[in-house]
Amino acid sequence: MPSLDDGHIGARIKEQRRIARLTQRELAARMPYSYSLLNQIECGRRTATSAFCTAVARALRIDVLALTGPSSASSALHDSTAILAPIREALDLYDLGPGEDITARPPAVLAAEADRLCRQVRATHLAKASKALPGLIVELTHTVWTAPSTPMWQALASVCRTASDIALKKGNLDLASVALDRMAWAAEHASDPCLAAIRQYKRALLYKGGDQHGTARRLVSAGHRLIAGETSREALAVAGQLHLGASAIAARTADQTAVDTHLATARELADRVGGEAPEVHWLSFGRRNAALHEFGAAVAMRQYDDALGKARKIRLPASTLTSRRARFLVDRARVEMETGHLETALKSVAEARRVAPEQTRHYPGTRDTITGLVHLSRRTPDTLGHMARWIGL
């Protein structure tokens, strides 16, 4: 019988076995294969044959494709491509002038629609926003060519930012970068330094790994230069958000001094802004946002005990953006898992799923946490099994 040349099959068998709450010996007892062979395959020392995978699937009562088919990550990528392709096409029309046979809605309606889609994304209704976004980009692009005005350029910059946010949440960094380039084009025509600074902040967030922190720091600094000398409440909030972004970048290199410096400056700016500022470009900048970034920095630096203490002190009001609440819950679940609080970790990630199912399912931290819980739990509770199947384990 030919072998299946896939080094991940053993790991998939182990995950599915744990989800079914079976030990290796219990699973082997249901199959015409030995416990020793199962153990070796799960550990990657032996390769699973087609017949072996079929026997495992029958014993676990699952489709054999759960073990041998395309990974859930590949399936998610395919789904994301179908959603994002129309957005990419709409963004690509920016320099072609007015569109033929396009009848755009009135400017006030377009501006309101841009704000509505921005609100939808922050409420984590990604599918709805993705469906409406390409048409709105086309209408606004047509409008700025036929009847340019500052409000329309600002609205176009806003929807380009929304496109970037959706692409980033779907894991498509290339499209997120393209959307931010279009945002820069619109912000320049709008002569809006705050929008241009936010664009640099968003660009910095795309640089997350390896030696990219240097580029990310330069982008944040460029954002600060764009609003240097500005004293409006809007500019102060944007400057504060840039400092929060800088704290996250510093945390990636475990630069505690830089993290503390940027967080302290952000808190000072939050006091000058006066309370929370959710209306400023949907940044929700304020003391609470600074506390969330302080927690996030501790997570990034793997200071899990400290992070857990910070998480327990954070109280998010009902007005908190759904996207922010869900991310906090997933990050808290990771911290709880890393500190051995497995039951509360499962509760946190389940709550994240309840409040924002779309975002939680696609957020990389969710898969990492649930996979960790599956491997750490001596027995997989029903709730964890359901969560694992939900994300495609």
Per-residue pLDDT reduced to its tens digit, 115-124: 999 999 988 8
Q: Which residue has the tokens 């030995």?
A: 34
CA–CA dist 63, 327 (Å, integer): 32
DSSP state of 96: S
CB-side neighbour CA atoms (13 Å) of 86: 14
**For the whole model, what pTM was predicted?**
0.77
**108 CB-contact burial (10 Å; exposed 0-12 / middle 13-18 / buried 19+):** exposed
CA–CA dist 217, 222 (Å, integer): 9
What is the predicted pLDDT for the residue at 79? Answer: 54
pLDDT over 50 (residue 289): yes
Distances (CA, A) of 290 to 130, 246, 265, 266: 29, 12, 10, 7
Q: List pLDDT tens digits, range 240-266.
A: 999 999 999 999 889 999 999 999 999
For the chain, the residue count is 393
What's the alpha-carbon Rg for the chain, to the nearest Å? 24
In the predicted model, what is the mean pLDDT of residues 322-344? Answer: 94
In the predicted model, what is the mean pLDDT of residues 210-235? Answer: 90
Query: 386 Cβ partners below 8 Å, 6+ apart?
Result: none
CATH of domain 9-68: 1.10.260.40
- Residue boundaries of the structural domains of the chain: 9-68
Q: List pLDDT tens digits, range 61-90.
A: 887 777 876 555 445 545 566 788 999 999
